[in-house]
Structure 1
Amino acid sequence: MSTLYRDTAVVLRVQKLGEADRIVTLLTKRYGKIRAVAKGVRRTRSRWGARLEPFNHVDVQCYTGRSLDVITQCQTVDAFGSGVVADYSRYTAGCAILETADRIVSEEGGEPSLRVYLLLVGAIRALAGGERDSSLILDAFLLRAMSHAGWAPSISECARCAEQGPHRAFSVQGGGAVCERCRPPGSVTPSPETFTLLDALLHGDWDVADAAEPFTRRDTSGLVAAHLQWHMERQLRSLPLVERRAPERREPVTGGPHAG
């Protein structure tokens, strides 16, 4: 017997089905990740097909089907899509965020999926707002999502013996920061500023994160991506496409047109 239910959700991805339908993957607030059929939404007469696009935050009503649920109603809560797709760096970062959420959350729901849902809504809202560097938003989301999945890298203490840092070495395979005694072969030695930025992104200290230099942001992004993909055991398709664009910094003025 079919059951009708309603929830808020973020659209993670869509797939064509037949001539006019779509399969929509949604991360919902209460029911976790679901895949549902939206009938007729690819027709030009569809009243709500444009609402079921990636990045949008929607209120959906569905009923359970044999293999896939069926969407019967959809209302827009936040039209984040227009603010994200308008800028390439925000769009590519957003694609990596959606793909990560899709990979991390199972279709069983529960507390971890609720935390990722809330984290996802905040990240997409920040991207759509365009007031913060998209790379920082992406790396903060990845670190926090890994924390909810139990994969967060150790930053302030050794990942192997728990000795308090700060430590100089970082091992992706070893779980993050490692002391000199536990340091495995192949570890890297990020700058102290990189460890500071990792900690700031994980704990939401945006004053510190926004002040980070471009080279520190690049090094941090590399460690975050490597750590995530090590635990996922596969590469994110969207991550290599992310445009890492550091904010421009004005050079100090040393003289006027007649200087010298």
Structure 2
Amino acid sequence: MRQNERVTLYRDEGVVLRTQKLGEADRIVTVLTRRSGRIRAAAKGVRKTRSRFGARLEPFTHVDLQLYERRSLDLITQAETVRPYGEALVTDYPRYTAGTAMLETAERLTAEEGEPALRQFLLLVGGLRTLAERRHDPRLVLDAYLLRSLSVAGWAPALDECCRCGARGGLRGFAIAAGGAVCGNCRRPGAATPAPPTLALMLALLRGDWEYADASEQRHRVEASGLVAAYLQWHLEHGIRSLRHVERDTGPAGDAAARETPDGVGTIEDDTTRERV
């Protein structure tokens, strides 16, 4: 960890979010770390077949790093694998795409580079571990992660009370721009109208009630996924590209929620170019 300007070497652990090519044999690695938040660092020679730690700096990998502090990009000098979550995800398309969406969301929801983001780091590690353990449906895991990450970022949706008047009963809609569930009196035209069990499922995912979530019906899972995706992309400057690859059918409620946004679920374009992870 960086202590003062005289320190040139520091250690941190993190999850590799994505990589970009740099020159002929190097890479720029984006990592969400425990102590330093999101950082970008150079890894020399990792694209060579004889690289000492190239395979340890792949997306989904939880790594322990030693870095050399520089004025521009810090330099990764050592990398040890803590847990390679990618090994359990790459052979399972639904889990891989859910994991990819989690990595991209973690990058978007963290503050500027170098700012601490411990809670986001812990959420990401927990989400990837849950995906890899295969105990829950990957779509449920993804939606739980998205809801909790939004909550940590300060954008938790109201799910058990009206976001306009605070009423705890008679919730009849979900208004993204207003901040979540709305009662019948506060519901405006165009707001989604999810089934009550859908809102209950979203609340269970936010709170970590897996017993309720695992017992939920498929139609409510589909409806919840559409609402979560629309709510997430409303609050971000750009959409999450990876969500378009997640195997989901937004359903009527998700479609209604999408119409509240200018671009809709899964259609907001990212104007940055990057190497896909």
**Counterpart for residue 103 of structure 1:** 108
Matched, 1:33 2:38: yes
Q: What is the CA–CA distance in structure 2 between the aligned matches of 1:56 and 1:129, rounded to whole Å?
A: 15
Provide the rounded CA distance (Å) in 2 between the counterparts of 1:179 and 1:47.
58
- Does 2:51 match 1:46? yes
Q: Residue 2 of structure 1: CA displacement?
A: 6.0
C-alpha distance in 1 between matches for 2:115 and 2:91: 32
Give the aligned partner of residue 164 of structure 2. 160
Q: What amino acid is the match of 1:179?
A: C
d(CA) in 2 for partners of 1:185, 1:175: 15
Secondary structure at the aligned position of 2:71 is classed as coil
Shift of 1:166: 4.6
Q: TM-score scaled to structure 2, two decimals?
A: 0.85
Q: 1:86: which partner in 2?
A: 91
| 1:25–1:36 Cα contact (<8 Å) kept | yes
| Partners of 1:129 and 1:169 in 2: CA distance | 34
Cα deviations across residues 94-133 of structure 1 (Å, max 9, x unaligned)?
11000000000021423xx100100000000111122211
Give the structure 2 partner of residue 182 of structure 1: 186
Letter in 2 for 1:115: R
For the residues of structure 2 that align with 1:122 and 1:134, how far apart are their CA atoms? 13
Stretches of structure 2 lacking an aligned partner (at least 5 in a row) = 1-5, 250-277
State how many pairs are aligned: 243
Check conservation: 1:2, 1:65, Cα contact below 8 A. no
8 Å CA contact retained: 1:59, 1:75: yes
Partner SS, residue 241 of structure 2: coil
Answer whether contact 1:156 1:166 (CA < 8 A) is retained: no
Could you tell me which runs of 5 or more consecutive residues in structure 1 were left unpaired when the two chains were aligned: 246-260
Residue 68 in 1 paired to residue 106 in 2? no
**Aligned residue runs from structure 1 range 119-130, under 5 A:** 119-130=123-134
- Residue 238 of structure 1 corresponds to 242
Alignment partner, residue 263 of structure 2:
none
Aligned letter for 1:3?
T
Deviations 1:178-210 (A, max 9, x none): 122222221111101101100100000000000
Work out whether residues 11 and 52 of structure 1, in 8 Å CA contact, stay in contact via their aligned partners in 2.
yes
Indicate the SS of the match to 1:168. Answer: strand
For 1:226 and 1:206, how far apart are their aligned partners in 2?
23
SS of the aligned residue for 2:201 comes to helix
What amino acid maps onto 1:124 in structure 2? L
Q: C-alpha distance in 2, partners of 1:162/1:141?
A: 25
- 1:11 is aligned, of 16, 22, 35, to 16
Provide the residue aligned with 1:140 in structure 2.
144
Aligned position for 1:21 = 26
Q: In structure 2, do the counterparts of structure 1 residues 92 and 114 end up closer, same or farther at CA, with 3 Å as the change threshold?
A: same
Contact 1:11 1:53 (8 Å CA) reproduced: yes
For residues 159-189 of structure 1, what are the alpha-carbon distances to aligned partners after superposition, in whole Å with 9 as ceiling and x for unaligned?
1121223511111111111122222221111
- Structure-2 separation of matches of 1:209 and 1:132: 9
Quick one: percent identity of the two aligned structures? 60
- Counterpart code for 1:175: G
In the aligned structure 2, how far is the partner of 1:109 from the partner of 1:233? 19
2:195 alignment counterpart: 191
How far off its partner does 1:67 sit? 1.2
The AA in structure 1 aligned to 2:22 is L
- Once residues 71 and 114 of structure 2 are traced to their aligned partners in structure 1, the CA distance between those partners, rounded to angstroms, is 17
Distance in 2, matches of 1:80 and 1:124, equals 7
